[in-house]
A and B are shown apart, each in its own frame.
Chain A
Amino acid sequence: AQSVTQLDSHVSVSEGTPVLLRCNYSSSYSPSLFWYVQHPNKGLQLLLKYTSAATLVKGINGFEAEFKKSETSFHLTKPSAHMSDAAEYFCVVSDRVTSYGKLTFGQGTILTVHP
Chain B
Amino acid sequence: NAGVTQTPKFQVLKTGQSMTLQCAQDMNHEYMSWYRQDPGMGLRLIHYSVGAGITDQGEVPNGYNVSRSTTEDFPLRLLSAAPSQTSVYFCASRPPGNFEGGYTFGSGTRLTVV
Flag A30-61 by CB within 8 Å of B: 1 or 0 each: 00101000000011101001010000000000
| B94–A101 touching, CB < 8 Å | yes
| A107–B31 touching, CB < 8 Å | no
| B101–A46 touching, CB < 8 Å | yes
Residues of chain B from 83 to 114 with CB closer than 8 A to chain A in the complex: 90, 92, 94, 98-101, 103, 105-108
- Name B40's contact: one of A49, A100, A103, A108 (CB within 8 Å): A108
| A103–B99 touching, CB < 8 Å | no
Q: How far is the CA of A32 from the CA of B98 in the complex (A)?
A: 11
Residue B81 is within 8 A (CB to CB) of chain A in the complex: no
| B50–A100 touching, CB < 8 Å | yes
| B42–A108 touching, CB < 8 Å | yes
Cβ–Cβ < 8 Å partners of A108 in chain B: 40, 42
Q: Which residue of B lies closest to A52 (CB)?
A: B100
Cβ–Cβ < 8 Å partners of B99 in chain A: 32, 94, 96, 100-101
Q: How far is the CA of A32 from the CA of B94 in the complex (A)?
A: 15
Q: List 25 A-B contacts (CB under 8 A).
A: A4-B42, A9-B40, A32-B99, A32-B101, A43-B106, A43-B107, A43-B108, A44-B90, A44-B105, A49-B101, A90-B42, A94-B99, A94-B100, A96-B100, A101-B94, A101-B98, A101-B99, A103-B33, A103-B45, A103-B103, A104-B45, A105-B44, A107-B40, A107-B42, A108-B42
| B107–A101 touching, CB < 8 Å | no
| B42–A34 touching, CB < 8 Å | no
Cβ–Cβ < 8 Å partners of B79 in chain A: none
Interface size on B, residues (CB 8 A): 24
Cβ–Cβ < 8 Å partners of A100 in chain B: 50, 99
Q: How far is the CA of A94 from the CA of B107 in the complex (A)?
A: 21
Q: How far is the CA of A83 from the CA of B36 in the complex (A)?
A: 28
Residue B43 is within 8 A (CB to CB) of chain A in the complex: yes
Q: How far is the CA of A104 from the CA of B98 in the complex (A)?
A: 16
Cβ–Cβ < 8 Å partners of B44 in chain A: 105
| 13 new A-B contacts at CB < 8 Å, known A32-B101, A46-B101 | A34-B101, A42-B107, A44-B90, A44-B105, A51-B101, A90-B43, A94-B99, A101-B31, A101-B94, A102-B45, A103-B43, A105-B42, A108-B42
